[in-house]
């Protein structure tokens, strides 16, 4: 009848429960034994130091997020620690080591690119168009139709394309996003 | 659990062996290490790479000789004197203790048959012995080697790991004759610029002009200008640009004309660095324009030479490569990057990574060593879910202080140590990546684990914040905050630690352990520079924070300002530079040229 079956199921359930309990106990003892060894052999990591660092970082983030705190001033418009101010585009003039013409510091890289015949713009002389600008913006994508040479294969670069459109070669992409 | 125990034996790599209980002492004096060696035949390791257990026959099912119990919370101990197996199940009966007492003296020491741990039945506690642990490790490693010297235990170092002996640091100051020599060939620097409060600023602090989207370069250069071993190298005139240029001109003129660019041999990134160090440390605080450097670098890295903003990490690698390449061309120096004999770039940044691939069928482990100049780390895949709390590896502390636990559990923050834990975690290679096992002679599923065999002088951690999906053909930047410590102990990621934990944390010298205790100090690092990126993928900005004399400075191209350390802690780190706290000096291989 149904009673012996129920008994059987009950004892099955008990048995599985018993085995499970044994397994679980055994695993707990494993962990206890490992911890004992780690503690006795002095292998514990410097928990306190790690916790301290975590706490300091959490506090720091709170402090920085607090609107009452004066945040980092946008340093382009401040006086530096030596008491100096600087124009947004570096205005020092020096001689280009390739063509020996005087060049302004903040415009040196775009100048050098053309001067050395490197980079896309130099090779694409005469093909300035909106498509060129489009491709510059999508520089992060794996397939780019313009560059005749392969870009570095590193997939972890934070490449920042130039801001601005085709005609503006000297746009300065150095201002931080606000 | 008690924590600190008095030293009794010489430590291995920071490990200590606790003082043995009197019963173990007596057992040892009576029997030596013989019983442990005899146990080796009974040591079984299943599955491959798993725990060791004690079984007289492979399929033996041990039971307590007194009551027949086995399993669960009941531990079974085999007496080392007579091999009788008894149970121990506190707070219940302990037939093991009864056995020890009744057969006393000589039967107090037993071994846990399922965990291969020694136990003192009189003290009712787990005890530890060096020779016993050695026997267990040797049994465990037998499976993973092909009857050849194991790379698990300390063995003669492969070529690129061979070390030179350590020597004591000897401070040097010029003697009168040298002082005259130095004075006659140089001129003193200008007095340091004082601000309105007449404070002194650290030397070498100087802004770098942005030459047009070159903040990626400026940020890395600032970190390098303040990398202590690199700074010391150049300021000690170890690479003299005048001498180097003169030499390469001679080489150039002397060699037959070739198809190569004749100016190539005169490009030397190290010379340009030398010039930059001189300029930046000169005392002049007006921003410096690293134009010559850019020019040289673009000639070296033609594929990266364009006006577009580049990736700072890519620049860093390219630059180190440029310094290395020049050295290779100059002399037939050893190519060995691992021990940094080739060039200053590798001397400072190069470490050695160890990669172990273990066959999951037989346990055979194949080991390779590769040099690396930095470590690129993935951010954890899911936010919040995989919160890195405190280390889950070797520590299961019973510290129940409420606020500590809450802090780590609730913040769900990614941390640098969490990334390093994941970097050194055993990783199952998928069934599509089966490795050829030399022992099985077929491709098998394997487990791979990385560890650091040799730490560099300066560790650069690069956080992979760029996610690239080739399926969706788009890329994005991961802005997630990553916590990084100001003081970092790399010991848990060393090969010796990783191996040790793989073999159950036995007291044994593993590959990479130093015979002296100095390893502990040499794994401690201090943060000195952080390169951060703000903004979007295609329009962003790099800035470097420098730590000089425990004050943090923000170097934003030409603008150098002081900042509170909170700003740095809260910043979005992209590359973090740590330097070894204590430097050791090694005997020079070649004779010093006067």
**Which residues of chain A have a CB within 8 Å of the CB of B507?**
41
The domain made up of B206-248+267-329+339-380+413-509+516-593 has a fold known as Cathepsin B; Chain A (3.90.70)
Long-range contacts of B513-520 (CB under 8 A, 24+ apart): B513/B12, B513/B13, B513/B154, B514/B13, B517/B11, B517/B13, B517/B14, B518/B166, B518/B584, B519/B13, B519/B14, B519/B491, B519/B494, B520/B13, B520/B14, B520/B491
A93 inside 8 A of chain B by CB: no
**Which residues of chain A have a CB within 8 Å of the CB of B513?**
none
- Identify the DSSP state of B6: -
* B535/A141 Cβ within 8 A: no
In this prediction, residue B489 has a pLDDT band, given cuts at 50, 70 and 90, of: very high
- pLDDT (average), residues A12-24: 90
In this prediction, residue B372 has a pLDDT band, given cuts at 50, 70 and 90, of: very high
Chain A, nearest residue to B10 by Cα: A41
Out of B215, B268, B342, B460, the active site residue is B215
* B210/A172 Cβ within 8 A: yes
* B417/A174 Cβ within 8 A: no
A160 inside 8 A of chain B by CB: yes
What span, in angstroms and rounded, lies between the C-alpha atoms of B158 and B314? Answer: 30
Q: What is the dihedral of CA B295, B297, B302, B304, to 10 degrees?
A: -110
A54 inside 8 A of chain B by CB: yes
**Which residues of chain A have a CB within 8 Å of the CB of B399?**
47
Burial label for B70, CB within 10 Å (0-12, 13-18, 19+), is: middle
Chain B, nearest residue to A75 by Cα: B559
Instruction: Report which of residues B107 and A46 the model is more confident about.
Output: B107
CB neighbour list of residue B146: distance below 8 Å, 6 or more residues apart: B364, B438, B439
Q: A33: which 2 tokens?
A: 């034994």
* Amino acid A161: pLDDT: 35
CB neighbour list of residue A14: distance below 8 Å, 6 or more residues apart: none
Instruction: Report which of residues B12 and B52 the model is more confident about.
Output: B52
Q: Which of A152-156, B276-280, B290-294 has the lowest mean pLDDT?
A: A152-156
CB neighbour list of residue B99: distance below 8 Å, 6 or more residues apart: B65, B66, B79, B84, B86, B107, B110, B121
* Amino acid A8: pLDDT: 80
Instruction: Report which of residues B235 and B520 the model is more confident about.
Output: B235
B130 inside 8 A of chain A by CB: no
Phi and psi angles of residue A49, each rounded to the nearest 5 degrees, phi first: -65, -40
The ranges assigned to domains in chain B are 22-144, 206-248+267-329+339-380+413-509+516-593
3-state SS assignment for residue A108 = helix
What span, in angstroms and rounded, lies between the C-alpha atoms of B211 and B224? Answer: 18
The mean of the pLDDT values for chain B is 81
* Complete DSSP assignment for A51-105: HHHHHHHHHHHHHHH-TTS-----GGGS--TTS----SS---EEE-TTT--EEEG
* Amino acid A151: pLDDT: 36
In this prediction, residue B273 has a pLDDT band, given cuts at 50, 70 and 90, of: very high
What span, in angstroms and rounded, lies between the C-alpha atoms of A172 and B87? Answer: 77
* B294/A108 Cβ within 8 A: yes
* Amino acid B10: pLDDT: 54
Instruction: Report which of residues A5 and B531 the model is more confident about.
Output: B531
With a cut of 80, say whether residue B307 has pLDDT above it: no
* Amino acid A125: pLDDT: 47
What span, in angstroms and rounded, lies between the C-alpha atoms of B183 and B178? Answer: 8
**Which residues of chain B have a CB within 8 Å of the CB of A109?**
211-214, 294, 307
ipTM of the complex as predicted: 0.79
Look up B541 and say whether it is catalytic: yes
What span, in angstroms and rounded, lies between the C-alpha atoms of B129 and A41? Answer: 11
Instruction: Give the count of Cβ contacts less than 8 A between chain A and B.
Output: 335
* Amino acid B537: pLDDT: 80
Burial label for B524, CB within 10 Å (0-12, 13-18, 19+), is: middle
In this prediction, residue A127 has a pLDDT band, given cuts at 50, 70 and 90, of: very low
Q: Which of B55-59, B165-169, B268-272 has the lowest mean pLDDT?
A: B165-169
With a cut of 90, say whether residue B518 has pLDDT above it: no
* B556/A75 Cβ within 8 A: yes
Chain A, nearest residue to B379 by Cα: A156
What pTM was computed for the model?
Answer: 0.80
B520 inside 8 A of chain A by CB: no
B71 inside 8 A of chain A by CB: yes
Burial label for B221, CB within 10 Å (0-12, 13-18, 19+), is: buried
The Cα of B465 is separated from the nearest Cα of chain A by a number of Å equal to: 7
* Amino acid B150: pLDDT: 55
* Amino acid B151: pLDDT: 60
| Among candidate residues B588, B577, B589, the one with its CA nearest the CA of residue B231 | B577
With a cut of 60, say whether residue B215 has pLDDT above it: yes
With a cut of 90, say whether residue B92 has pLDDT above it: no
B6 inside 8 A of chain A by CB: no
In this prediction, residue B333 has a pLDDT band, given cuts at 50, 70 and 90, of: low
Burial label for B472, CB within 10 Å (0-12, 13-18, 19+), is: exposed
Q: What is the CATH number of domain B22-144?
A: 3.30.40.10
Instruction: Report which of residues B22 and B326 the model is more confident about.
Output: B22
A5 inside 8 A of chain B by CB: no
* B533/A158 Cβ within 8 A: yes
With a cut of 90, say whether residue B593 has pLDDT above it: no
* Complete DSSP assignment for B365-378: EEEEEEEES-EEEE
């Amino acid at each position: 009848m149904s009673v012996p079956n129920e008994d059987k199921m009950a004892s099955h359930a008990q048995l599985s429960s018993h085995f499970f309990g044994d397994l679980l106990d055994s695993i707990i003892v494993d962990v206890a034994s490992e911890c004992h060894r780690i503690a006795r052999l002095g292998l514990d990591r410097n928990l306190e130091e790690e916790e301290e660092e975590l706490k300091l970082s959490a506090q720091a983030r709170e402090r920085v997020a607090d609107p009452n705190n004066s945040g980092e001033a946008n340093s382009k418009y401040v006086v530096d620690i030596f008491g100096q101010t600087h124009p947004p585009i570096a205005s020092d003039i020096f001689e280009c080591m390739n063509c020996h013409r005087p060049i302004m510091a903040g415009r040196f890289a775009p100048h050098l690119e053309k001067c050395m015949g490197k980079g896309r713009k130099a090779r694409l002389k005469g093909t300035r168009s909106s498509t060129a600008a489009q491709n510059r913006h999508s520089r992060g994508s794996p397939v780019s139709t313009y560059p005749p040479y392969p870009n570095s294969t590193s997939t972890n670069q934070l490449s920042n394309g130039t801001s601005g459109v085709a005609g503006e070669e000297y746009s300065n992409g150095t201002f931080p996003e606000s | 659990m008690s924590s600190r125990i008095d030293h009794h034996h010489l430590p291995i790599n920071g490990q200590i062996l606790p003082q043995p209980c009197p019963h173990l002492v007596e057992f040892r004096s009576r029997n030596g290490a013989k019983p442990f060696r005899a146990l080796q035949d009974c040591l079984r390791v299943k599955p491959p790479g798993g725990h060791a257990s004690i079984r007289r026959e492979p399929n033996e099912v041990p039971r307590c000789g007194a009551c027949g119990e086995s399993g669960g919370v009941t531990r079974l101990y085999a007496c080392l004197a007579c091999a009788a197996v008894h149970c121990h199940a506190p707070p219940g009966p302990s037939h093991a203790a009864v056995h020890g007492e009744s057969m006393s003296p000589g039967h107090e020491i037993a071994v846990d048959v399922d965990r291969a741990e020694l136990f003192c039945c009189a003290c009712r506690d787990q005890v530890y012995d060096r020779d016993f642990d050695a026997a267990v490790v040797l049994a465990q490693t037998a499976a993973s080697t092909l009857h050849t010297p194991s790379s698990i235990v300390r063995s003669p170092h492969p070529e690129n790991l061979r070390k030179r002996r350590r020597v004591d640091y000897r401070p040097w100051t010029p003697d009168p004759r040298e002082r005259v020599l130095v004075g006659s060939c140089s001129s003193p620097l200008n007095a340091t610029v004082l601000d309105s409060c007449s404070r002194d600023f650290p030397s070498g602090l100087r802004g770098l002009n942005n030459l047009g989207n070159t903040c990626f370069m400026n940020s890395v250069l600032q970190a390098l200008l303040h990398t202590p071993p690199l700074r010391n190298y150049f300021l000690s005139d170890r690479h003299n640009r005048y001498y180097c240029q003169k030499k390469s001109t001679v080489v150039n003129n002397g060699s037959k004309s070739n198809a190569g660019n004749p100016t190539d041999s005169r490009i030397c990134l190290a010379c340009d660095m030398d010039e930059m160090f001189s300029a930046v440390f000169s005392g002049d605080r007006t921003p410096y324009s690293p134009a010559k450097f850019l020019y040289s670098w673009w000639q070296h890295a033609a594929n990266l030479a364009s006006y577009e903003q580049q990736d700072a990490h890519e620049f860093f690698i390219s630059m180190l490569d440029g310094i290395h390449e020049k050295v290779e061309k100059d002399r037939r120096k050893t190519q060995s990057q691992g021990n940094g004999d080739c060039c200053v770039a590798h001397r400072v940044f190069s470490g050695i990574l160890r990669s172990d691939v273990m066959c999951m069928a037989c346990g055979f482990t194949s080991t390779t060593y590769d040099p690396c100049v930095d470590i690129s780390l993935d951010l954890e895949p899911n936010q919040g879910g995989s919160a890195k709390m405190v280390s889950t590896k070797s520590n299961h502390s019973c510290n129940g202080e409420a606020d500590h636990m809450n802090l780590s559990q609730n913040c769900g923050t990614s941390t640098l140590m969490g990334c390093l834990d994941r970097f050194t975690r055993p990783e199952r290679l998928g069934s599509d990546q089966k490795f050829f096992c030399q022992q099985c002679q077929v491709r098998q599923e394997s487990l791979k684990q990385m560890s650091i065999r040799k730490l560099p002088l300066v560790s650069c951690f690069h956080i992979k914040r760029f996610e690239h999906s080739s399926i969706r053909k788009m890329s994005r930047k991961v802005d997630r905050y990553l916590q990084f410590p100001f003081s970092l102990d790399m010991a848990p990621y060393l090969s010796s630690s990783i191996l040790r934990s793989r073999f159950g944390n036995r007291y044994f010298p593993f590959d990479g352990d130093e015979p002296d205790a100095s390893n502990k100090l040499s794994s401690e690092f201090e943060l000195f520079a952080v390169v951060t990126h703000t903004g979007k993928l295609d329009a962003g900005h790099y800035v470097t924070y420098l730590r000089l004399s425990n004050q943090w400075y923000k170097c934003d191209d030409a603008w150098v300002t002081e900042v509170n350390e909170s700003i740095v802690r809260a910043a979005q780190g992209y590359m973090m530079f740590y330097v070894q706290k204590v430097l050791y000096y090694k005997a020079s291989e070649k004779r010093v040229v006067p």
